[in-house]
Each structure stands twice: as structure tokens, then as C-alpha cells.
Amino acid sequence: MTTRLRILDDGAWLSVDDTRRVSVSELWRLDSTEFCDCDLADLVVENFQAVGVDGPIVEVRVYGQCITCGTKSTTGWIPVGRIVDGEFTDLERESVLSAHSEG
């Protein structure tokens, strides 16, 4: 069975199988030199731009702002959850997240 992944309400949230899973306004610690010059970006998620999968991992690209340095941009692919036996489980997004390098 395929998992339905969608970004809805103009980028407000990520829907997985018709259930809201991840919303804007989360604050992520992002380990990505591509986003800004900070060692760890402190990213306010303002808008979801795209969703994809890499094996069992659900990834998104988001528009947001690093509140340490002020950079505003779109991220590379960031893992936010995992599909196990057809069920979505959150990744611990309070801890450090890393972007996929090919962005």
C-alpha cells in the first residue's frame, strides 16, 4: 500500500495518509552548511515546499528563517518522519536534523 504524502493549505502542513503530521511554526536545529553560516541553524519553519521519500524516510523541503543569523531560504531535503509497516512515526525533531546534501 502506498503512503499518501501531501503539503496542504498553501504550505501550512504535511499530511500523511490524510492526517496532519507536521505543521509550520516548529523550530528545528539544522545541521546544514548549505542553509546558512551558523554551525547549527535555528530554523523557524514557515512554509512546506515539497515532500518526498527516501526508502522509509519522509523528507520535506521547507522555507524558513534562521533566527540566529537571519538567513531566509529554502532548505534541502530534511527527514521528518519514518514509515514503518505503513504507519508514520515522527522523528525526534527537537534534536539536531541534517539535510540531505544533494538538496
Residues in touch with other proteins (CB under 8 A): 4, 6, 8-13, 15, 17-20, 23-27, 42, 44, 46-47, 49, 65, 67-68, 70
Cα 78 to Cα 58: distance, rounded to the nearest angstrom: 8
* Residue number with CB closer to ligand HEM (18 or 85): 18
Of 12 and 44, CB closest to ligand HEM = 12
Cβ distance 19 to 60 under 8 Å? no
Strands 19-23 and 13-16: antiparallel
How much is the CA Rg of the chain, to the nearest whole Å? 13
Q: C-beta of 52: minimal distance to other proteins in Å?
A: 14
* Window contacting Zn ion (CB under 5 A); options: 17-25, 39-47, 53-61, 82-90: 39-47
- Grid cell at residue 19: 492526517
Q: Beta partners for 28?
A: 43
Residue numbers at the binding site for ligand HEM (CB under 6 A): 9-10, 12
